[in-house]
Amino acid sequence: MLIANLAQSLVCAGALWTLKWMGSPFRRIEKIVLYLVCVTAFEQAHSAILDSQKLIRITPTGTAFAYFKMNQLILFPLATMWLLYAIFRIRDRFLVKAALGTAWMAGLTASVGLSQAIGVIEDTGWNVGYAVFTWTVVLLAVMIFAAWYRKLLEKRGEADAVRA
């Protein structure tokens, strides 16, 4: 488990490093807010899965918990931010967006499968159907927020341009 944590730490550091390439159309303030919203959305989804529905159980060790938290606080939110970035950057190509969304969903589901395989979590009822439903809800919530916040920033930008 220690090696898995070490490997996961390196992957997370790499994921954080990629943020420097996430430029336009995202503004810096937008990136901050989106990160916070993505983390919150995953925390709430995990809380519903773990505490309320009890579909997954985290192995009660510090190392398993650390691995799970790295997924929750870094990898999943950053993967979602990159998906949103692609969705807002690519214009008028629905199929490309759909393919990216599917890849994102498959990636998250595979990551949960990997966590299970290395003993971080125990499956107590979780299946692909629940995964697709949960990730779709998370993505929709985050996308609606992201679109609203972008609109807000654009409106402000337009107002400033008119004043100038």
Q: Which stretch in 18-26, 67-75, 87-95, 97-105 sits in contact with other proteins by CB under 8 A?
A: 67-75
- The yes or no reply on residue 27 touching other proteins (CB under 8 A) is yes
Q: Which stretch in 8-16, 57-65, 86-94, 104-112 sits in contact with other proteins by CB under 8 A?
A: 57-65
CB 126 within 8 A of CB 56: yes
Dump the DSSP string for 80-147.
Answer: HHHHHHHHHHS-S-HHHHHHHHHHHHHHHHHHHHHHHHTTSEEESS--HHHHHHHHHHHHHHHHHHHH
Q: Which stretch in 5-13, 34-42, 93-101, 120-128 sits in contact with other proteins by CB under 8 A?
A: 34-42
State the nearest-atom distance from the C-beta of 87 to other proteins, in Å.
Answer: 20
State the nearest-atom distance from the C-beta of 40 to other proteins, in Å.
Answer: 5
